[in-house]
Amino acid sequence: MVLLGTVILMISLVGSALGGQPEGPRPPQPDGVGGFELVTMQQTITGSGQENSETEHGVEANVTNLATFTVTLSWQDEPENRPGLTNQPDTLGVTVASPAGESRNEMKSASEGSVKVEFTFPVTEKTAASKPSKAGMGRWVVTAEVGPCGDQTPAVPDPLGLRTVADNGNAYTLEITYTHFAKAKGA
């Protein structure tokens, strides 16, 4: 058996070394097979929220064959108001609800940072060509959440809190990216 395997391997290597046969043009695909490509759509939303508040953003994904839907919320806390103060981190997060009602969320406390929520769907070029998927199609609800915002506090203890500067909220950016399979141009 080992000898037979070695002979077949040698024949393959010799054929490759001699150039083999050139690959001919691909045969045309029957209707409904192939001819799809992955398309990426992006949207950016900027906003701000008061401490302990939520802001809802609706996003329409009116496409079939959705492969991924990703939301990334990022923020940066404002700089200190004056020397001698330390700005405490803010807590921000995002909740994403799909058109089917499935909800996912992420939250983080940091002076600057980002959180990401992603949905994936079992769609491939082959499945898109055979039967379009409507999973994920429709209105997505993206809720930006601003939680407790850390005040600017003095480096030296201030028991009366007279030198503390309140932090009442924060600005944020939402990056919404979704991919879907669409019929390729010319296909």
pLDDT in tens, 111-157: 899 999 999 999 999 999 899 999 999 999 999 999 999 888 887 77
Give the chain's domain count.
1
pLDDT-based confidence at residue 14 (cuts at 50, 70, 90): very low
Under 8 Å between Cβ of 182 and 37:
yes
Q: Which amino acid is at 47?
A: G
CATH number (domain holding residue 42): 2.60.120.380
Range of the domain at 173: 36-156+163-183
Is residue 131 assigned to a domain? yes
Residue 16 lies in a domain: no
How far apart are the C-alpha atoms of 71 and 103, rounded to whole Å?
12
pLDDT, tens digit, for every residue of 50-73?
A: 999 999 999 999 999 999 999 999
| N-to-C CA span, the chain | 46
Structural domain contains residue 19? no
Q: Look at residue 43 and tell me if it is in a domain.
A: yes
In a domain, 139, yes or no: yes
Is 0.85 surpassed by the pTM of this model? no
Is 12 inside any structural domain? Answer: no
Domain assignment present for residue 173? The answer is: yes
- Cβ atoms of 129 and 35 within 8 Å: the answer is yes
